[in-house]
Structure 1
Amino acid sequence: MSDLYFGTDLFDEFDRLHRRMSGAFGGFPTSLRSTQNGAFPHINVGTTDESIEVVAFAPGIDSSKLEVTIDKGLLTIAGERKQTDAPAEAKQYARERFNGTFRRVVELPQHADADKVDARYVDGVLRISIGKREVSKPRAITVH
């Protein structure tokens, strides 16, 4: 039998502590998977042997309003999505579509080559392909 006694459920205390810590640090995501709710655009990041692939889902944007930059290992996707409201005489009861300026920053792996970038925006999807440096690509080594 344990000599320790807690007046409340220990797991409830851990849950309470977790909620307090999340509230204190909620504005600072620690990774891509823990971004703030409502981050725009939503993105997927993957890799092939040759490149790092970033897919950003950003419908309703003029491609000339998109800005993609890489600086110091950070990929930045910025732009603006114009408001497309109902006619002026219509009363609006709900609004779920994001309008306005946005900026999304993704940390890239060290082997990303900023000189080998291709970005295409088709049907509301921005596809960014970032080449890998030659030294980081997998290679077969012959054993003698």
Structure 2
Amino acid sequence: MSLVRSGNVLDPLSVDFWADADPFGTVRALAGRCPVLTNVRVDWKETPTAHVFKADLPGVRKENAKVEVEDGGVLVISGERARDEDGKKDERWHHVERSSGRFERRFRLPRGAVRVDQVSTSMDDGVLTVIVPKEEAKKPQVKPVHISG
């Protein structure tokens, strides 16, 4: 099942990450795979030269985060947040609010307006930054035509 809005293809909600969501929007099942957390917070801003994504990934090591651009121009930020277990048998949890497990967020990039071959990433203090440069705007060529007669 997929939710696609026909209005604006640049709308981050036009990608199918809300499909099959639970009532609180925290977990969705991928076909044949384990549940995936969708509560990873991501900001998306557009500058004159790039699209900039910032994802809050506290407690996620950069080796456990992955950034991909699919063929259809969809940016995928995924990975896994390890569960806090120290292996002691005589301890038990009373309350757990921090999420753990796999996560994935998907964003449809504007077609033909970005340079997916030049995507750059960095991770600092639990914040993943993804920069997708824009294509340079082509200026229309104007060629004067001589009028005879």
Identity level (%): 24
| Residue of structure 2 equivalent to 1:82 | 82
Structure 1 pair 33–105 and aligned structure 2 pair: CA distance change class (3 A): closer
Q: CA deviation at 1:88?
A: 4.3
Q: CA deviation at 1:90?
A: 3.2
Ranges of 4+ aligned residues in structure 1 off by more than 6 Å = none
- Name the one with the larger helix percent: 1
Q: CA deviation at 1:69?
A: 0.5
**Ranges in structure 2 where 5+ consecutive residues have no aligned partner:** 6-10, 27-37, 140-149
Q: Report SS of the residue matched to 1:135.
A: coil
Q: CA deviation at 1:28?
A: 4.4
**Normalising by the residue count of structure 2, what TM-score does the alignment of the two structures yield?**
0.65
Larger radius of gyration: 1
Cα deviation, 1:39-93, whole Å, max 9, x if unaligned, reads 2321010010000000101110110111100112100011111111475433322
| Residue of structure 1 equivalent to 2:110 | 109
The count of corresponding residues between Structure 1 and Structure 2 is: 112
RMSD of Structure 2 on Structure 1 (CA): 2.5
CA distance in 2, matches of 1:60, 1:43: 15
Aligned amino acid, residue 90 of structure 2 = E
| Residue of structure 2 equivalent to 1:46 | 45
CA distance in 2, matches of 1:65, 1:59: 12
| Residue of structure 2 equivalent to 1:32 | 12
Q: CA deviation at 1:108?
A: 1.1
| Residue of structure 2 equivalent to 1:119 | 121
**Normalising by the residue count of structure 1, what TM-score does the alignment of the two structures yield?**
0.67
